[in-house]
Each structure stands twice: as structure tokens, then as C-alpha cells.
């Protein structure tokens, strides 16, 4: 099958390219490299079934050939990056999603968009079930990301309902692993970078906010399963093992260096206080649940960051 993947040079996108090639498919990857890197795809550069095109998905694109599957991952994804590029973030979720959906409609291709747990905002229901409509501040700092993804979901449903596009919506919860950008500010690379340099771990707020972390191979497996399912409504993909950010810092200390100091910094606006996916739907529909535990996943990620030559 012919696959088109936007955001291919990013963290999750590069692993998805690898997985689809290993499954015997052909892949054209698109990316404007705003946060992604060619280095993430360097090992695929000479693969006979892989091609890469530098392209901004918010711009029109005429592609020769026909695709069986369109995957739309292109987006600014870390709070530091989307707060720094709010307009680009809104555009990749809106115009970018429409452009990718148009290709799927033209080709009669399947379509999958990577949405986010941020659609639930600072949730008032816990854990988050797909039927919960969320508690998003539409004009807050994070709204450029949250609303772009909510728009992307709405546009995807409109293309499904109006044009019959066979679409899937993955609501991804915090995912980590090799090829995350070391300096993208997300808590996993931030703490690992600080630990590797013997610097204090920076906890935002008092560290009582919760998250749960899914290793990238589990996430890619969930995405691939979802992409061949008949479910059109959103499906949560993430690891339900919830911990506070303070507990997460303790895990990092246990793994890297018990003596690392912790410093507390101000909590960013609208930072969700609790987050944990209810993955009952993914378990039932896809037979999917995460397999990699946090310690094993972190060890692989540390190995990657240690081996990273300066860019
Ligand atoms: P990432 O930043 O590593 O990858 C995103 C990629 O999209 C980058 O390579 C970037 O250069 C590219 N991109 C951004 N705007 C573009 C544009 N206009 N045109 C072309 N390319 C563009 O982030 P990631 O963690 O791999 O995220 C992948 C997807 O998963 C995103 O849609 C993100 O919103 C979603 N997601 C990720 C997480 C997570 O924890 N990693 C959680 C929820 C949702
Ligand atoms: N966080 C932190 N220190 C950091 C980076 C992040 O305490 O150096 C916190 C952040 O405030 C949030 C959680 O860790 O509560 C997860 O942040 P991340 O940026 O990874 O993603 P989010 O879940 O907020 O999208």
C-alpha cells in the first residue's frame, strides 16, 4: 500500500515511517522541519520504498500518484513549541488538516489524524473517556493547540459525514521515546537532559499534577491498529499508569542519579492538573494496550540521548 505521512521527520512520525516500511508498504513523508529533523529519517534515506519531501502542509500540494492511506501528524506538539508558534499551530490543525483530507478524498484513501488529550483541556472528569467533551479555555495560552486539534477533529468528521472519507481520530496522551527533540521542553526530554548534565530537575508548580507516559512503540502499534479499524469516532491511545510529576522526578532520580536536586518553578497557565486515559475503547475495539513499562522505556530513551551527537 502507498502511505502519505505528514510530520514524518518528527518523533512519532519517524517511528511510524519505520513501522510501515517494515510491514512492506511504500511511504512518502512530508515535513517542513519546523521541529522535526532529517536526522530522524537518515537511516531510511536509501530505503527503496521510502521518499521524503520538504513541504509545509498548510500550502497547496499537487502530488502525482495515488495514496491508499493518508496520515496527518504534522503539528507543533510540545507546549514550548506551540506557545512559540501559535499561528503556525492553528494553521497546521486547520488548513493543514483540510489539505491532507482533500488528498484522502481525491484518492479514496483512508485518513488518520493525530489528535490529543488536550482536547479534554483541564479535565473535570477523571480518567478521560472519549465521550467527555472537555474543559478547554478557548482563549487561553494553550488554546492555539487545543482548538487547532478540536477543529481538526471536527473537519475530519465533516469529511467523513459529507464525503464518506474513511477516517480515524487518535487522541494521543503523553508519549515519549527515542527521537524526541532533547530541547523541546516536554517533561521527559527536559528531565533526562537535566539528569545527563547533573542539573537540578525543574518541576513546574508543586508537582502534584498527574500524567501517564506511553512508550513510542506502543503508540505506533495503537495507531496502526486504529488505522485499519472501522471506528470513526475518537479513540484514546495512551498509557493508563498515572503518576504525579513529583513521582516522575523520583523515578528519574532512581534511574539516573539519586542525588539530583529538584527545583520548583511557576506552573504554566492552564497546565492540566490531572490526566489519565480511559483506554477501555482501545482495548475492546483494537485489542490494544501498552506493553512497555516506564523504566524500560526510559532506559531506551536515555540510551538514545547519550548516543546523540551534537546537531
Ligand atoms: P514532533 O514535533 O516531533 O513532530 C511533529 C512534526 O510535524 C515535526 O517534524 C514538524 O516539523 C512537523 N510539522 C509541524 N508543522 C508542519 C507543517 N505545517 N507542515 C509540515 N510539517 C509540519 O511531535 P510528535 O510528538 O511526534 O507529535 C506528532 C503528532 O502527535 C502531532 O500531531 C501531535 O500533536 C500529536 N501528539 C503527540 C503527543 C506526544 O506526547 N508526543 C501527544 C498528543 C498528540
Ligand atoms: N513539566 C515540569 N517540568 C518541565 C517540563 C514540564 O514540571 O521541565 C510539567 C508540565 O508543567 C506538565 C507536565 O510536566 O504538568 C507534562 O508537561 P509536558 O510539557 O511534557 O506535556 P503536557 O502534558 O503539558 O502537554
The span from the CA of 239 to the CA of 234, in Å, is 16
- Percentage of residues in the chain with pLDDT exceeding 70? 99
Tell me the per-residue pLDDT of 63-83, one tens digit each, with 9 for 90 and over: 888 999 999 999 999 999 999
Tell me the per-residue pLDDT of 219-271, one tens digit each, with 9 for 90 and over: 999 999 999 999 999 999 999 999 999 999 999 999 999 999 999 999 999 99
Nearest bound ligand to the CA of residue 5: 1
Task: Tell which one of 74, 120, 168, 190 to mutate to probe ligand 1, the residue whose CB is within 8 A of the most ligand atoms.
Answer: 74
211 lines ligand 2 (CB under 6 A): yes
Nearest bound ligand to the CA of residue 145: 1
pLDDT at residue 88, as a whole number: 98
Task: Tell which one of 245, 263, 269, 273 to mutate to probe ligand 2, the residue whose CB is within 8 A of the most ligand atoms.
Answer: 245
Cβ atoms within 10 Å, residue 193? 15
| 308 confidence band (pLDDT: 50, 70, 90) | confident
pLDDT at residue 310, as a whole number: 64
The predicted model gives 22-33 an average pLDDT of 98
pLDDT higher than threshold 70 for residue 309:
no
Distance from the CA of 114 to the center of ligand 1, in angstroms? 8
Please give the backbone phi and psi of residue 64, each rounded to the nearest 5 degrees, phi first: -75, 155
- Percentage of residues in the chain with pLDDT exceeding 90? 97
Q: Where are the extended beta strands (E) located within 32-166?
A: 50-54, 69-72, 110-116
Nearest to 29 by CA among 48, 47, 3: 3
Nearest to 114 by CA among 30, 224, 189, 242: 224
Nearest to 31 by CA among 50, 22, 48: 50
Q: Of the residues 145, 159, 176, 215, which is catalytic?
A: 145
pLDDT at residue 64, as a whole number: 85
Q: Is 132 a catalytic residue?
A: no
The predicted model gives 205-226 an average pLDDT of 98
Distance from the CA of 83 to the center of ligand 2, in angstroms? 13
pLDDT at residue 56, as a whole number: 98
Tell me the per-residue pLDDT of 116-126, one tens digit each, with 9 for 90 and over: 999 999 999 99
Residues 78-114 as b/e (b if ≥16 CB within 10 A, e otherwise) read bbbbbbebbebbbbbbbbbbbbbbbbbbebebbbbbb
Q: Where are the extended beta strands (E) located within 151-234?
A: 167-172, 175-176, 201-204, 210-212, 214-215
76 lines ligand 1 (CB under 6 A): yes
180 lines ligand 2 (CB under 6 A): no
Task: Tell which one of 77, 112, 178 to mutate to probe ligand 1, the residue whose CB is within 8 A of the most ligand atoms.
Answer: 77
- Measured CA angle at 20 (ends 14, 21), to 5 deg: 90
pLDDT at residue 85, as a whole number: 98
174 lines ligand 2 (CB under 6 A): yes
The predicted model gives 101-125 an average pLDDT of 97
| 311 confidence band (pLDDT: 50, 70, 90) | low
Nearest bound ligand to the CA of residue 79: 2
Atom 10 of ligand 2, nearest CA residue: 204
pLDDT at residue 65, as a whole number: 86
Amino acid at each position: 500500500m502507498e502511505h502519505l505521512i505528514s510530520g514524518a521527520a518528527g518523533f512519532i512520525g519517524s517511528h511510524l515511517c519505520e513501522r510501515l516500511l517494515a510491514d512492506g508498504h511504500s511511504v512518502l513523508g512530508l515535513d517542513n522541519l519546523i521541529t522535526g529533523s532529517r536526522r530522524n529519517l537518515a537511516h531510511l534515506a536509501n530505503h527503496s520504498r521510502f521518499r521524503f519531501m520538504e513541504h509545509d502542509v498548510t500550502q497547496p500540494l499537487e502530488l502525482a500518484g495515488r495514496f491508499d492511506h493518508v496520515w496527518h501528524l504534522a503539528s507543533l506538539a510540545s507546549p514550548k513549541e506551540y506557545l512559540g508558534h501559535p499561528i503556525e499551530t492553528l494553521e497546521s490543525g486547520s488548513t493543514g488538516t483540510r489539505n491532507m483530507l482533500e488528498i484522502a478524498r481525491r484518492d479514496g484513501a483512508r485518513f488518520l489524524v493525530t489528535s490529543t488529550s488536550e482536547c479534554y483541556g483541564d479535565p473535570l472528569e477523571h480518567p478521560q473517556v472519549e465521550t467527555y467533551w472537555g474543559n478547554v479555555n478557548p482563549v487561553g495560552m494553550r488554546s492555539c493547540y487545543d482548538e487547532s486539534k478540536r477543529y481538526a477533529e471536527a473537519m475530519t468528521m465533516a469529511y467523513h459525514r459529507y464525503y464518506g472519507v474513511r477516517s480515524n481520530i487518535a487522541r494521543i496522551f503523553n508519549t515519549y521515546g527515542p527521537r524526541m527533540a532533547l530541547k523541546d521542553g516536554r517533561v521527559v526530554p527536559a528531565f533526562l537532559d537535566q539528569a545527563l548534565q547533573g542539573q537540578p530537575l525543574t518541576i513546574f508548580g508543586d508537582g502534584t499534577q498527574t500524567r501517564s507516559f506511553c512508550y513510542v512503540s506502543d503508540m505506533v502499534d495503537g495507531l496502526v491498529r486504529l488505522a485499519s479499524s472501522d471506528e470513526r469516532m475518537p479513540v484514546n491511545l495512551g498509557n493508563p499508569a498515572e503518576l504525579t510529576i513529583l513521582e516522575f522526578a523520583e523515578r528519574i532520580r532512581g534511574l539516573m542519579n539519586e542525588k539530583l536536586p529538584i527545583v520548583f518553578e511557576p506552573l504554566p497557565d492552564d497546565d492540566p492538573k490531572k490526566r489519565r486515559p480511559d483506554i477501555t475503547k482501545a482495548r475492546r475495539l483494537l485489542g490494544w494496550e501498552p506493553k512497555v513499562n516506564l523504566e524500560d522505556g526510559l532506559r531506551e530513551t536515555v540510551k538514545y540521548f547519550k548516543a546523540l551527537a551534537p546537531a
